[in-house]
Amino acid sequence: MTDSGARRPPAKPRRIIHVDMDAFFAAVEQRDHPRTRGRPVVVGADPKGGRGRGVVAACSYEARPFGIHSAMPIGRAYRLCPRAVFLPVRMERYQEVSERIFGIFSRYTDLVEALSIDEAFLDVTGSTRLFGGAEAIGRRIKADIRAEEGLIASVGVAGSKFVAKVASDLGKPDGFVAVPPGEEKAFLAPLPVSRLWGVGAKTEGLLRSLGLITIGAVAAWPASALTARFGEVGRHLWELANGIDDRPVVPEEAAKSIGSETTFAEDTADPRLLRRTLLALAERVGQRLRREGVRGGTVTLKVRFEPFETHTRARTLTAPTALADEIFPVAAELLAGSRLPGRRIRLLGIAVSRLVPPEAAGRQLGLFGEAAARRERVAAVMDAVARRFGEGALTRAALLDRPRRRRAGHGDA
């Protein structure tokens, strides 16, 4: 018989680490090109003396005082700092370095959730006895990355994903911030409400109008009052403000889909910007599919509206593909069907799933099959150029930030 009076030992507090590489693309370039160290470096398309098209993929910390930031038009970045070092994107190089960095993570835990090529959550709860505590693990990871890769990372340690992420952000660059168990709420309390996930400019204004300036003020409000005012988002904000975030670290499984997403510097409803962004994402996903030697049969669109409302819609293709020409129109239709008038968008993403090898794609022969084969040959040429000269070397005309016809003025007004 089981002793019904026996008590289980209390659960061990979770210890989560968030690692974020600082200015990753630009830092890799500065490491690989010593002459650029200490100088403003901009990674992206060719600026062509301020006439270039395309956008900034990343920039070094030395470039930021000039007002340069990612997703900025490359021509504007050049005008802000013409003496900066402008370099092409070398995605394969960054992925190579990223794989080694993630290899460092795996020394300490197998619970690693990749957020992007340069950012991850690690659950080290079960590793603390072996390596001497979560803080010790975080410091060892920072030291390993610096010693083996010559790069710096910001690390946050806490009992939840949200607090660990906030901690690493506060320490940037080259920071280390650890929040002891049970002190999450006190750590968050003095921070501005803009630090809460899901709070954009509009929601921040609404919170401020209620006198809620700090996270501590949000935590002190009744959850029911916030829910009545903001719906489920209000409940979500109250939980985060009180340090409540039970989401687990989810390790990456064998790739079931290939995707890419981007977060806008400012929420937008500009149809031209949304269309260009969607096409750029389709190009990126197509390149990754071809690089992995697979095709995908289902296109999924991810849209995040302000403040924290995420929608996904999917459509199955008539035949698996690895071509942006076939991914983009489907994604564009899904976007048109998911938008509401006046809704501003914070994030767009495209993923392609149901992956199969090319020989299993089952393309039908004939006129349309020949046209697809021609597009695949063109894509192969573009891939070869990108590998040699960087991803910004060839850009579709639709992605060029040209001024509108029939209207005078500059495109960067």
pLDDT 10s digits, 101-117: 999 999 999 999 988 88
Q: What is the mean pLDDT of residues 15-21?
A: 97
- Number of structural domains (the chain) is 2
In a domain, 83, yes or no: no
pLDDT at residue 121, rounded to an integer = 96
pLDDT at residue 238, rounded to an integer = 96
Q: Say if residue 88's pLDDT is above 80.
A: yes
Q: What is the mean pLDDT of residues 88-100?
A: 89
Residues 192 and 234 in one domain: yes
Residues 233 and 271 in one domain: no
| Residues 139-163: tens digit of each pLDDT | 999 999 999 999 999 999 999 999 9
CATH of the domain at 236: 1.10.150.20
What is the distance between the alpha carbons of residues 53 and 177, in angstroms, rounded to a whole number? 39
**263 by DSSP, 3-state: which?**
strand
Residues 382 and 328 in one domain: yes
Residues 357 and 286 in one domain: yes
**Which residue would you say has higher pLDDT here, 68 or 95?**
68
| Residues 26-39: tens digit of each pLDDT | 999 999 999 999 99
Residue 100, φ and ψ in degrees, nearest 5:
-70, -40
In a domain, 90, yes or no: no
In a domain, 285, yes or no: yes
In a domain, 110, yes or no: no
Residue 259, φ and ψ in degrees, nearest 5:
-150, 175
Q: Say if residue 365's pLDDT is above 60.
A: no
What is the distance between the alpha carbons of residues 191 and 79, in angstroms, rounded to a whole number? 35
In a domain, 268, yes or no: yes
Contacts with 258 (C-beta within 8 Å, 6 or more apart), sequence order: 285, 288, 289, 292, 294, 296, 351, 352, 355
pLDDT at residue 49, rounded to an integer = 82
Average pLDDT, the chain: 84
Residues 194 and 231 in one domain: yes
Residues 262 and 231 in one domain: no
In a domain, 224, yes or no: yes
Residues 209 and 303 in one domain: no
**270 by DSSP, 3-state: which?**
coil
Find the range with the poorest average confidence among 217-221, 253-257, 323-327: 253-257
Q: Is 119 a catalytic site residue?
A: yes
Query: Alpha-carbon torsion 61, 62, 67, 73, what sign?
Result: negative
Q: Which of 62, 113, 119, 326 is catalytic?
A: 119
Q: β-strands 153-158, 176-178: how paired?
A: parallel
CATH of the domain at 329: 3.30.1490.100
Residues 213 and 267 in one domain: no
Residues 206 and 333 in one domain: no
Residue 80: pLDDT band by 50, 70, 90 thresholds?
very high
Residues 263 and 355 in one domain: yes
In a domain, 53, yes or no: no
Instruction: Quote the domain boundaries for residue 360.
Output: 257-392
In a domain, 58, yes or no: no
pLDDT at residue 372, rounded to an integer = 59
Residues 361 and 334 in one domain: yes
pLDDT at residue 407, rounded to an integer = 29
Residues 210 and 282 in one domain: no
